[in-house]
Amino acid sequence: MFSGLRERLQSARDRLGASIGAAAAASQPQEPEKPAALEKEGEAPAKNPTLADKVRILIIDRELVVSEKDIADALSELEMTLLESDVALPVTDALIADIRAGLVGKHRKIGESVDSLVVRSLKSALLKVLGQGFDLPAYIRSHERPVKILFTGVNGTGKTTTVAKIGAYLKKEGFSVVIGAGDTFRAGAIEQIGVHAERLGIKVIEHQTGADPSAVLFDTVQYAIAHKTDVVLADTAGRFHTKANLMSQLEKIRRVMKPDLIVYVDEAVAGNDAVVRAAEFDKTVGADAIVLTKADMDSRGGAAISIAHTIGKPLLFLGTGQAYEDIMPFEPGAVVEELLGGAA
């Protein structure tokens, strides 16, 4: 997952480390060679310290102060790397600014290697833009039941399958679940969610094709209340934010259902398009969290890196395959460790 971005960040890590190391070595005064006449009999001729020796002396045995000039070229290269990976421009700017602030003008402690210094700054910057994530089981346990979750998004992003996956995930966490088949317009949508629900042993509330989705989801909430069900998962028809009538319908659904959480679903492979659409949905009907599907097919990672920071809402899950268990709670720390190879 995000293999291309991981390789590019590893390259940026090496470049930053090399730039700082070279600057450190250049600042080390040259020690004069020991005159041959003063060498003791049988003593090997003294050697000039190598670049590695100089970096070790300056980084391990002394404090190091990094200058803007030392890392300017490496940061410029990293900026292009992030943009080419579909990381949104505001997020790229924030990352570069945080990395620069984490390196320039700071005294580094004795005993810290160049690589540790660089990786620590990269990790800190990435964690800032990725946010805190969202612990859905903890949220459900701390709120009045049923917890009502409304799923929105554009056509063809895997929203209905995501609803089923999250239903399976919550069942494993010990919660009772009911699904509302609120996509009453797409051909086969009611049948699709019904098949998923039957396989998973989850109750589904449905009306006939063409019914008012608000009515379906109202009935789903009433069922959950009557049967003391923990969670309502409300599927809806996919729609683009530019379709005013469909967005108005979604607003009606929100008023009738009164969801506790609105979850926006899009594809990781959509890159910056997913970021823009999420922001528009948030403006129109709101969004409390985001799910990105097809993360296993996304080598660039731009949407996952950008979306939480850009719209200020946490990533909830990443879809990583076709099976019901192929959904991963988004944990920023784990993602950063994977991107940077788990280095300290």
CB 102 within 8 A of CB 125: yes
The annotation status of 62 as a binding-site residue, yes or no, is no
Are residues 258 and 311 both part of a single domain?
yes
- Which residues face 147 on adjacent strands? 231
The annotation status of 236 as a binding-site residue, yes or no, is yes
Tens-digit pLDDT profile for residues 253-265: 999 999 999 999 9
The annotation status of 157 as a binding-site residue, yes or no, is yes
The annotation status of 188 as a binding-site residue, yes or no, is no
- Kindly give the pairing relationship between strand 147-153 and strand 261-267: parallel
The annotation status of 56 as a binding-site residue, yes or no, is no
The annotation status of 296 as a binding-site residue, yes or no, is yes
Q: What confidence score (pLDDT) does residue 248 get?
A: 76
* Helix boundaries (H) for the chain: 3-27, 51-55, 68-84, 89-103, 114-130, 136-141, 159-172, 189-200, 213-226, 244-257, 272-284, 302-311, 332-339
Burial of 151 (0-12, 13-18, 19+ CB in 10 A): buried
CA separation for the pair 234, 259 (Å, rounded): 9
Are residues 191 and 317 both part of a single domain?
yes
The annotation status of 160 as a binding-site residue, yes or no, is yes
Can you read off the two tokens belonging to residue 273?
A: 């398009």
Residue among 160, 133, 190, 66 at smallest CA distance from 330: 133
Q: Residue 318 — φ and ψ, nearest 5°?
A: -115, 130
Sequence length of the chain is 344
Are residues 122 and 182 both part of a single domain?
no
> Which CATH number belongs to the domain containing residue 199 in this structure?
3.40.50.300
The annotation status of 293 as a binding-site residue, yes or no, is yes
The annotation status of 52 as a binding-site residue, yes or no, is no
Are residues 185 and 244 both part of a single domain?
yes
Is the peptide bond between 146 and the residue preceding it cis, with omega within 30 degrees of 0? yes
Are residues 203 and 236 both part of a single domain?
yes
Amino acid at 332: P
Which of 130, 150, 171 is where one domain is finished? 130
Which of 87, 115, 130 is where one domain is finished? 130
The annotation status of 154 as a binding-site residue, yes or no, is yes
Q: Is 344 within a domain? A: no
What is the residue range of 212's domain? 136-339
DSSP codes, 13-45:
HHHHHHHHHHHHHHHSPPPPPPPGGGSPTTPPP
The annotation status of 237 as a binding-site residue, yes or no, is yes
Which of 106, 130, 154 is where one domain is finished? 130
The annotation status of 245 as a binding-site residue, yes or no, is no
Q: Residue 149 — φ and ψ, nearest 5°?
A: -120, 120
Are residues 44 and 158 both part of a single domain?
no
Tens-digit pLDDT profile for residues 148-200: 999 999 888 999 999 999 999 999 999 999 999 999 987 788 999 999 999 99
Are residues 285 and 158 both part of a single domain?
yes
Burial of 245 (0-12, 13-18, 19+ CB in 10 A): exposed
> Which CATH number belongs to the domain containing residue 13 in this structure?
1.20.120.140
The annotation status of 294 as a binding-site residue, yes or no, is yes
Are residues 99 and 167 both part of a single domain?
no
Are residues 122 and 186 both part of a single domain?
no
The annotation status of 108 as a binding-site residue, yes or no, is no
The annotation status of 186 as a binding-site residue, yes or no, is no
Are residues 46 and 84 both part of a single domain?
yes
Q: What angle do CA 334, 134, 198 make, to 5 degrees?
A: 100
Q: Is 198 within a domain? A: yes
Q: How many domains is the chain partitioned into structurally?
A: 2
Q: Which residues does the chain have with pLDDT short of 70?
A: 24, 27-64, 106-112, 240-246, 342-344
CA separation for the pair 56, 114 (Å, rounded): 9
CB 271 within 8 A of CB 86: yes
